[in-house]
Amino acid sequence: AQSVTQLGSHVSVSEGALVLLRCNYSSSVPPYLFWYVQYPNQGLQLLLKYTSAATLVKGINGFEAEFKKSETSFHLTKPSAHMSDAAEYFCAVSGPFSGGYNKLIFGAGTRLAVHP
Amino acid sequence: GAGVSQSPSNKVTEKGKDVELRCDPISGHTALYWYRQSLGQGLEFLIYFQGNSAPDKSGLPSDRFSAERTGGSVSTLTIQRTQQEDSAVYLCASRLGGVQETQYFGPGTRLLVL
């Protein structure tokens, strides 16, 4: 079965510090991988995605993620946190072992807090 | 352009009542999804529509849940005989093209079953 694990339900960083949100997947076939952000009382917004092209993916708002097959990871990073980055972040996967690439399987989410 | 819209934004109902939740996808998007977001279960896939194909209902938690998509556009998720464990945010998403394309999410309907 295919699943996704986000390490750390809560992450707190100082404004200007590096943001690192961890995501690991379990699948024998490299899946498609996504990071979404959810601001309070809003839907999900795509930050970036990996669909078997370049392993280093750049997204919106200065975020990027690197697909590492050997580590089955897709960690999200941003060099310098802004107060406006405070939100919940979800890693998601899709692939052949989850019923097809049509379905997204989400991690439990990581709530990012940014303090002055 | 307009994004995915959902109505109502909030719904409070009594246990045992039926509810209908509506989703208007982005115009021209052929794929439509329903997900449920709850504290205990996180984000779960419920159902997927693609064009005129039979929907993938594999995520529906019970036969009290059903969904339809009329004319390849608007979708309604119906929950019959609601239970307190149905309380959650129900999210709709739509997608334009193939599986590599982005799913765009609506703001959700927050359902509270008393």
pLDDT of the residue at B114: 96
Q: For residues A2 and A74, which has the higher predicted lDDT (pLDDT)? A: A74
Q: Label residue B1 by pLDDT band (50, 70, 90).
A: low
Interface residue A109 vs chain B (CB under 8 A): yes
Work out the average pLDDT over B46-68. 93
Judge contact between B6 and B21, C-beta under 8 A: yes
Encode pLDDT of B65-94 as tens digits.
Answer: 999 998 879 999 999 999 999 999 999 999
Residue indicated by tokens 């504290």: B39
pLDDT of the residue at A82: 96
HSE-CB for B38 with a 13 A CA cutoff: 14
Residue B47, C-beta contacts closer than 8 angstroms, at least 6 positions apart: B33, B34, B55, B56, B57, B59, B60, B65, B67, B77
Share of chain A above pLDDT 70, in %: 96
pLDDT of the residue at A85: 96
* Chain B 51-110, residues with CB within 8 Å of chain A CB atoms: 56, 58-59, 91, 93, 99-100, 102-108
The chain A residue lying nearest B38, using CA atoms, is A108
pLDDT at A38 over 90: yes
Interface residue A102 vs chain B (CB under 8 A): yes
**A100 - beta bridge partners?**
A95
CB distance B56–A103 less than 8 Å?
yes
pLDDT of the residue at B47: 95
CB distance B105–A43 less than 8 Å?
yes
Share of chain B above pLDDT 90, in %: 80
pLDDT of the residue at A95: 83
Encode pLDDT of A69-102 as tens digits.
Answer: 999 999 999 999 999 999 999 999 988 766 677 8
Q: Label residue B104 by pLDDT band (50, 70, 90).
A: very high
Q: Which residues in chain B have Cβ-Cβ distances shorter than 8 Å to A100?
A: 56, 99
pLDDT of the residue at B100: 78
Intra-chain end-to-end CA distance of chain A, in Å: 41
Q: Which residues in chain B have Cβ-Cβ distances shorter than 8 Å to A103?
A: 45, 48, 56, 59
Residue indicated by tokens 């996504």: A34
pLDDT at A31 over 90: no
pLDDT at B5 over 70: yes
Work out the average pLDDT over A26-39. 88
Encode pLDDT of A43-71 as tens digits.
Answer: 899 999 998 778 899 999 999 999 999 99
CB distance B102–A90 less than 8 Å?
no
DSSP class of residue B5 equals E
What b/e string do you get for A14-35 counting C-beta neighbours within 10 Å, with b at 16 or more? eeeeebebbbbbebeebbbbbb
| Amino acid of residue B79 | I
In total, the C-beta contacts within 8 angstroms joining chain A to chain B are 51
pLDDT of the residue at A116: 94
**B23 - beta bridge partners?**
B6, B75
pLDDT at A1 over 60: no
The CA-atom distances, in angstroms, between B44 and each of A23, B35, B60, B74 are 17, 5, 9, 21
